[in-house]
Each structure stands twice: as structure tokens, then as C-alpha cells.
Chain A
């Protein structure tokens, strides 16, 4: 059974607008959540993370929100830029995201149109 779900395979937004990528999880033991960005022909790169003891973490244009009661997290990108076009993976772990196994969603392909 899929523990981390990204139900939108793709998302298209206009440059300058907000991009919202969503992720749901089923394992209540997850205590760390991460977002990765992946360009074609490259490995995924870490973007932002959040601990389960927080409900928001912000880093520049990127903000992750966590709703534990709903087992839902979202990544907001404001303002969106064409260079943000990539596949975004949501991931979760039962540890601190360093040495513990990460479980990934299937990814959402974001396209930011100029």
C-alpha cells in the first residue's frame, strides 16, 4: 500500500503566480517530511523539509505546510519561476531524514509558463 501519495501527476501555472503541490500520507509514525526537486537527467535534489512537531517551514520562495490531523502536507512556491519547472517528490521518514529510509511519492511534474 502506498504510504506517501501525490495525487496530481502534473500541474501547470503561470510565471509569477503561486504553485501549490500536495502530498498525503497514511503512516502516522512518519515524523519528518521532505520535498525534492528533480530535473531531467539529474538526480533529485533536496528542497525543504519539516519536522512533525512543526506546521510550517519557510525558505525563501518555498514554504511547506503540515497538517498532521489530516495527514497532509503541501509545498507553496511564490512567486513561481520558469526555472522551477521540474518533477517534485514528496518524501517521509520515521527518523530524522538522515539515516532513516525515505518513502517517496510518485511525483508531480510542475510546469511554469512564461
Chain B
């Protein structure tokens, strides 16, 4: 969606290194989310934010941290990347009732 930009689109990193993924929105949505998509697991919530500096954990938050210093930016950090964090990461923002989220195009992260 044109209102949500994820960067980088692709990244290969080594085990043990820190990695930060960025999500930028122009929708001025209050709510933002980070999901990961893995074969056989669908989409699973990592962390979400309900406002600037207000964040909370999702179902698979271990090994991840987030920050939101501005409405438009939501950062996902892997403090020390592991091979199990190889995945496709999607950022999403809250939309209008009944329309769920708007998703970004995803970041494909490979940890070697």
C-alpha cells in the first residue's frame, strides 16, 4: 500500500548481529503492528503500538523489541539475530472498522 513503506525490502545478516527494520506510514494511524509470516504458521503478531511510545507484546515477541518515537515510524529490532528469525516481516496500520489493517509490502530477512 502506498501509505506504508517498509525498509529494507530484503536483508541478509549474520547470526548474532543486531538488525532494525523500519516501517513508515503516511496514514496518520494511531495503531501499528509488526507480524511475521512463516510457512505453516500464517501471520503471527510480534509487537504492536497504540500510540507514540506506547507499545505492547504480541504472541511471538521473544528476541524482538520495538520503538515508536513518532506517529509515522515504527521500528522492529532484533537485538541478536538467530536463524529462527529468518522470516518475512510485515508492518501494518489500523484502519477503519471492518477493514482491518493495511499492510506494507514486507521485509524478507535471512539470518545465516
Which A residues have a C-beta under 8 Å from some C-beta of B?
6, 32, 34, 36, 41-46, 49, 51, 89, 91, 93, 95-99, 101-107
Contact = CB atoms under 8 A, between A and B. Distances in A.
A89 B104 contact: no
Nearest to A4: B42
Interface residues of B, number: 30
Contacts of B95: 46, 97-98
Interface residues of A: mostly helix, strand, loop or mixed? loop
Contacts of B4: 43
Contact of A46 (B30, B44, B102): B102
Contacts of A41: 105-106
Interface in B78-98: 90, 92, 94-98
B48 A101 contact: yes
Given A42-B105, A42-B106, A104-B43, A99 B94 contact: yes
Contacts of B106: 41-43
Interface of B: 1, 4, 30-31, 33, 35, 40-45, 48, 50, 58, 90, 92, 94-106
22 contacts: A32-B97, A34-B98, A36-B100, A41-B105, A42-B106, A43-B90, A43-B103, A49-B98, A97-B97, A97-B98, A98-B94, A98-B97, A98-B100, A99-B30, A101-B58, A102-B101, A104-B35, A104-B43, A104-B44, A106-B41, A107-B42, A107-B43
